[in-house]
Amino acid sequence: MIIKGKTVWITGASSGIGEQLVYTCARRGAKLIISSNQETELNTVKKNCEKMGVECFVTPFDLSKPKEVNDAGIAVLEKFKSIDVLINNGGISQRATVVDTSMETIRKIMEINFMSAVTLSKLVLPGMIENGTGVIAATSSITGKFGFPLRSAYAASKHAVLGFFETLRLENKANNIQVTVAIPGRVQTDISVNAVTGKGAVYGKMDDGQSGGISAEDCAEQYIKAIEKNKKEVLIGGKELMMVHIKRFFPALFNRMATKIKAT
């Protein structure tokens, strides 16, 4: 995959990993469509891209609202006809135990992190199949590989992302559709600050682990390189990624370690 000249649509593009994905693609000469529910911030990102001499189109919508997601997808396809690369990056995290998390909050997390990505992917897929090429990417998490305290719905949504997009990849190999799933560990973003509590309120705190993670810029560069190299999955982060391998090869050890992990 050569990003230069391609039409790339990125969700969650107003901050964090998503914003850096935009700039990483801009430096490669992509034509960009950027989305999130923060229109003011998106317009700032757009201006930064235009300073780099790159076309950038803002399409704001709320990933938690199915109709907005569907309508935005239809509108984007009407304007651009086809998308070369879709990066489903938008998401929200959680800081609450299972017993304290309402069903409304669980549904919201699943809607944002999983269902919105499914909706947009299904909308762009027919055009990619018709063109005989295309890339669909999605952001999971290392908690998509194992459970973690205070992250029940978040972990469930990220497990779902892995399962859905792996299936999408297998079904569409013959159609020349590339599917890449990024699995970040700790990245320096506001994901913990913007996380929701069990009742849906904003958590509002920066986790120690988050603040000590790799930079969002570094994460985005690794993410886009994985797309360029047609990687099926890419683990991105620091020493915390070892937990993925420990869970796979030494499950009993993982269980002992996981119960001692500081939950924040």
Residue 23 falls in the annotated catalytic set: no
Q: Residue 127 is part of which domain span?
A: 7-258
Q: Does residue 2 form part of some domain?
A: no
- Whether residue 209 is predicted with pLDDT greater than 90 in this model: the reply is no
CA 46 to chain centre: 19
- The CATH number of whichever domain residue 204 belongs to comes to 3.40.50.720
The mean pLDDT value for 60-76 works out to 98
Q: Does residue 169 form part of some domain?
A: yes
CA 101 to chain centre: 22
Q: Is the pTM of this model over 0.85?
A: yes
> Over the chain, what is the mean pLDDT?
96
In DSSP terms, which residues pair with 178 in a beta bridge?
Answer: 135
Q: Which two tokens stand for residue 50?
A: 């235009």
Which residue carries 């969700």 as its tokens? 11
The mean pLDDT value for 222-251 works out to 96
Q: In what order do the strands lie in the sheet containing 233-236?
A: 56-58, 31-35, 7-11, 85-88, 134-139, 177-184, 233-236
* CA gap 34, 43 in Å, rounded: 9
Residue 262 has a pLDDT of 67
The mean pLDDT value for 3-29 works out to 97
Q: Does residue 78 form part of some domain?
A: yes
- Whether residue 58 is predicted with pLDDT greater than 80 in this model: the reply is yes
Three-point CA angle 164, 167, 171, nearest 5° = 140
- Whether residue 96 is predicted with pLDDT greater than 90 in this model: the reply is yes
Q: Does residue 17 form part of some domain?
A: yes
Count: domains in the chain: 1
The answer to whether 90 and 144 have CB atoms below 8 angstroms apart is: no
pLDDT > 90 in the chain, percent = 92
pLDDT-derived band at 263 (thresholds 50, 70, 90) equals: low
pLDDT-derived band at 207 (thresholds 50, 70, 90) equals: confident
At residue 177, what are phi and psi to the nearest 5 degrees? -100, 120
Residues 6+ apart with CB under 8 A from 34: 9, 10, 13, 14, 18, 22, 42, 45, 46, 56, 57, 58, 59
Residue 264 has a pLDDT of 56
Q: Does residue 38 form part of some domain?
A: yes
Q: Does residue 263 form part of some domain?
A: no
The mean pLDDT value for 242-253 works out to 94
List 23, 154, 203, 223, catalytic entry: 154
Q: Does residue 218 form part of some domain?
A: yes
